[in-house]
Chain A
Amino acid sequence: MTSLAMQRRRATAGRVLAQFRSSKPGVIGFSVLLLFVVIALAAPLLADVRELNPVFARASGNPQWASPGEFGALGTDHLRRSVWVQFVWGSRVSLFVGLAATILTISIGSVVGIVSGFVGGRLDAFLMRITEWFLVIPFLPLAIVLASILGRNVWNIILVIGVTSWPSTARLLRAQVLTVKQRLFVDRSRSLGAGNGHLVARHILPNVSGLILANATLAVPISILTETTLSFLGLGDPSSPSWGKTLEEAFVNGAMVRNAWWYFLPAGLGILVVVLAFTLIGRTLEEIADPRLGQSR
């Protein structure tokens, strides 16, 4: 029984993998993302973190406002810091915040959605009411207000994004759980005397995990873009330079009138490419998880 289930699961995984591999957008997105993950993880090898310190940058004789031809791959900024180093280390913070916030978002959303869908009744009505309320509150202003009150650090940003963006996940999962619940085999196992925990672990979770994954992949871009916007508006963590903070500093310190494109183009492109990659992967996963989507879109 156990080995059979495992076999079945392995077969499913293999099928998903094969389907994913056959999707060109999915593969492209995954490769690009892999590249950025490698950059982020290998940051200490690729770029000297001390270069983020303007005092060190000056002591090492970096020029100021140097264009890419004049210094390194991406030039320098108003404080002589290498833009390449900022890009590499910024990818770390942006990806980390994006992923951590997504985990929080998906956790809250999944718990609410599964509980709501599985338990049903009054609890469902109550949870869905709250979900709807959070869905209605405009997301960015809420994040801004929370970040302003809580203060500027990475963990608060993650908390703010997590707390503000879970409702759509919750709604989606609830719907899926309801569908799964309807299916016959759930009723059959229940009649055989399986406990609720068993039901959720054995039948509900495996059937919604694909959706959770797809949803998580699509939630990352939102988290990254939100972090970027919050940082740009001055709510970012001053000690963890993300791509958004680079954009803020470039904007505030006159990179635009100087036409110092090398200061603000890389960070924005980084965000664009990573967001696109996650979107491509997410849509591919979504199609696999919900084949009805596959044909027409």
Chain B
Amino acid sequence: MLATEQSESRGRTRFILKKVLGSLLTLVFVLVFNFVLFRIVQSDPIGSLFRGRNVPAAKIADLRTAFGLDESLWVQFWAYVRQTFQLNFGISYQSRQPVWNEIVSAIPATVALVGISAVFSAVIGTIGGVIAAWRRNTWKDHAITSGTMVFYSMPDFWLGMILLVGFAVVLGWFPVGGMSDAGSTATGLALLLDRLHHIFLPALTLTLAYLGEYALVTRSSLLDVMGEDYLTVARAKGLRDVVVRNRHAVPNALLPVVTLTAINFGFVLSGAIAVEAVFSWPGLGKATADAIRGPDLPMLQGLFLLFSAAVIFFNLLADVAYAWLDPRVEGA
């Protein structure tokens, strides 16, 4: 008994360790990839840093040293890795501020918007999926399945444009963009209400856009589970339909949904680029859209690294969560 537990936990530790190592390797790959893109494909990184402004020669020489441009590629790469780990992504062309500062200041808005939407879409989508599976081939199933498919098939920003025209332009119920009233000085409750007022439409857009995936995954996962024996047994024991569903079927079917949620959280930071642009929501997505207009390459580079790191991290988290939740995973 004791021995089994030990070996089980050892297997699990090994599994997690392997996943951590894999993630680190992926991170290294992203770094190399980024380096190739921005230092090799893009010629003259220093020149593009100043875009034609008169810059003293001494300063250019300093930067060449800092970037290691006169050294071998290996030295350059090493300098780049060092800078990256010091969170030094260079200076944004557009704001003249360190890219890292710009990114950090945009994170909360995105986390709030996409976080709220992710939670709502996961919850509502899962419920929808459960209903659809449980009432398979009824009108409820068809309505939910086709409805979510439609939302899933449209460009999310287009949905945003329609909601914006309908609810903000025509009806005037919501503001047409931004995170707060222009020049608002509100505090406390007024501030909170102001934020809610502004976040409503973009959050609704993203929630509707993400719903479909959760509903479809939940539905098919639940249908798989429902075919399994123990449910028949549970039903045979005379348990009510709802109890069977909520106590037995759903929890088992939710495993892939949990994984999906964790993975989707990795995409949270990068998930709303075009939608943030439509609603002028001042988060990472709008920062990306603005950087494209520049083009502000250091900013794009920094954002890309951050987005990738977030995905890698949450994938790892999903794996670890899976290892804890699913007893079948053992040192695989």
Chain A residue numbers with a CB within 8 Å of B304 are 141-142, 144-145
Task: Tell me, rounded to whole Å, the shortest Cβ–Cβ distance linking A75 to chain B.
Answer: 15
Q: Are B315 and A268 in contact (CB under 8 A)?
A: no
Contact of A137 among B224, B292, B300, B308 (CB under 8 A): B308
Q: Which A residue's beta carbon lies closest to that of B216?
A: A297
Whether A296 lies near B307 (C-beta < 8 A) is: no
* Given A149-B37, A272-B150, A259 and B274 contact (CB-CB distance below 8 Å): no
Contact between A138 and B37 (Cβ–Cβ < 8 Å)? no
Residues on the B chain within 8 Å of A127, using CB: none
Please name the residue on chain B nearest to A247 by beta carbon: B158
Decide: A133 and B26 in contact? CB cutoff 8 A: yes
Q: Across the interface, do A144 and B311 meet the contact criterion of CB distance under 8 Å?
A: no
Query: Is A132 on the interface with B (CB-CB < 8 A)?
Result: yes
Contacting residues, chain B, for A185 (C-beta < 8 A) = none
Binds B, one of A7-15, A96-104, A227-235: A227-235
Interface residues as binary, B291-332 with A (CB distance below 8 Å gives 1, 0 otherwise)? 011010100110110011011100100000000000000000
Cβ < 8 Å to A, chain B residues 270-306: 270, 273-274, 277-278, 288-289, 292-293, 295, 297, 300-301, 303-304
Q: Do B303 and A141 have beta carbons less than 8 Å apart?
A: yes
Q: Are A144 and B288 in contact, with the CB atoms below 8 A? A: yes
Select which of B22, B266, B274 is within 8 A of A229 by beta carbon. Answer: B274
| Least distance between A247 CB and chain B CB atoms (Å) | 6
A136-B315, A229-B155, A229-B157 known; A296-B292 Cβ under 8 A = no
B22 / chain A contacts, CB cutoff of 8 Å? 132
Decide yes or no whether A146 CB sits under 8 A from chain B: yes
- Alpha-carbon distance between A141 and B103 when the two chains are bound, in angstroms: 15
**Cross-chain contact A234 with B155 (CB below 8 angstroms):** no
One digit per residue, 1 when the CB lies within 8 angstroms of any chain B CB and 0 when it does not, for chain A 233-265 equals: 111000000001001001100001101010011
A196–B206 Cα gap in the complex (Å)?
49
| A221 in contact (CB, < 8 A) | yes
Distance of A277 Cα from B295 Cα, bound (Å): 35
- Does B267 make an interface contact (CB < 8 A)? yes
Whether the pair A148, B295 counts as a contact (CB closer than 8 A) is yes
Q: Does B227 contact A (CB under 8 A)?
A: yes
Chain B residue nearest in CB terms to A268 = B158
Given the known inter-chain contacts A271-B155, A271-B158, please indicate yes or no for A136 contacting B292, CB distance below 8 A. no
**Which of chain B's residues has its CB closest to A250's CB?**
B161
Contact with B along A254-297 (1 / 0, CB 8 A): 00110101001100100110011001000000000000000011
Chain A residue with the shortest CB-CB distance to B312: A136
Shortest C-beta distance, A252 to chain B (Å), equals: 10
Asked whether, in the complex, the Cβ of A141 is within 8 Å of the Cβ of B270, the reply is yes
Interface: A213 (CB within 8 A): no
Instruction: Establish whether residues B273 and A275, one from each chain, have CB atoms under 8 Å apart when the complex forms.
Output: no
Most chain A CB within 10 A, of B29, B155, B304, is at B155
Q: List A contacts of B185 (CB < 8 A).
A: none
Q: Is the CB of B289 within 8 A of A233?
A: yes
Q: Which residues of B (226-272) have their CB < 8 Å from a CB of A?
A: 227, 266-267, 270
Q: Which of B1-27 contact A (CB under 8 A)?
A: 22, 25-26
Pick from B42, B277, B293: contact of A149, CB under 8 Å: B42
Q: Complex: how many Å from CA A110 to CA B176?
A: 45
What distance in Å separates the Cβ of A243 from its nearest Cβ neighbour in chain B?
9
For the side of the interface on B, what is the size category? 35 or more
Contact with A along B153-167 (1 / 0, CB 8 A): 111011001101100
Residues of chain A contacted by B169 (CB below 8 angstroms): 256-257, 259
* B277 and A233 contacting across the interface, CB-CB below 8 Å: yes
B149 touches A276 (CB 8 A): yes
How long is the Cα–Cα vector from A168 to B96 in the complex, in angstroms?
A: 39
Give chain B residues whose Cβ lies under 8 Å from the Cβ of A33. none
List, in ascending order, chain B residues with CB within 8 A of A264's CB.
158, 161
Identify which of residues 109-145 in chain A touch chain B, using a CB-to-CB cut-off of 8 Å. Answer: 129, 132-133, 136-138, 140-142, 144-145
Among the interface residues B30, B165, B224, which one has the most CB atoms of the partner chain A within 10 A? B165
Option from A133, A138, A146 in Cβ contact (under 8 Å) with B29: A133
A225 interface hit (Cβ, 8 Å)? yes
B41 at the interface (CB under 8 A from A): yes
| A232 B37 Cβ-Cβ under 8 A | no
Interface string of B123-139 (1 = CB under 8 A from A): 00000000000000000
Say yes or no: A136 contacts B170, CB within 8 Å: no
> Is B200 on the interface with A (CB-CB < 8 A)?
no
| Partner among B41, B161, B176, B289 whose Cβ is within 8 Å of the Cβ of A247 | B161
Of the A-B pairs whose beta carbons lie under 8 Å apart in the complex, a sample of 13, sorted by A's number, is: A136-B26, A138-B308, A141-B288, A141-B304, A141-B307, A144-B304, A148-B297, A149-B297, A228-B155, A244-B155, A247-B161, A256-B176, A272-B155
> Interface of B with A (CB < 8 Å)?
22, 25-26, 29-30, 33, 37-38, 41-42, 149-150, 153-155, 157-158, 161-162, 164-165, 169-170, 176, 220, 223-224, 227, 266-267, 270, 273-274, 277-278, 288-289, 292-293, 295, 297, 300-301, 303-304, 307-308, 310-312, 315
Known: A229-B273, A276-B153. 4 other contacts (CB 8 A): A146-B37, A233-B274, A268-B154, A297-B223
- Counting from the closest, the 9 A-B pairs by CB-CB distance are A268-B158, A275-B153, A272-B154, A296-B223, A141-B307, A133-B29, A138-B307, A276-B153, A138-B270
- Which A residues form the contact surface with B (CB < 8 A)? 129, 132-133, 136-138, 140-142, 144-146, 148-149, 221, 225, 228-229, 232-235, 244, 247, 250-251, 256-257, 259, 261, 264-265, 268, 271-272, 275-276, 279, 296-297
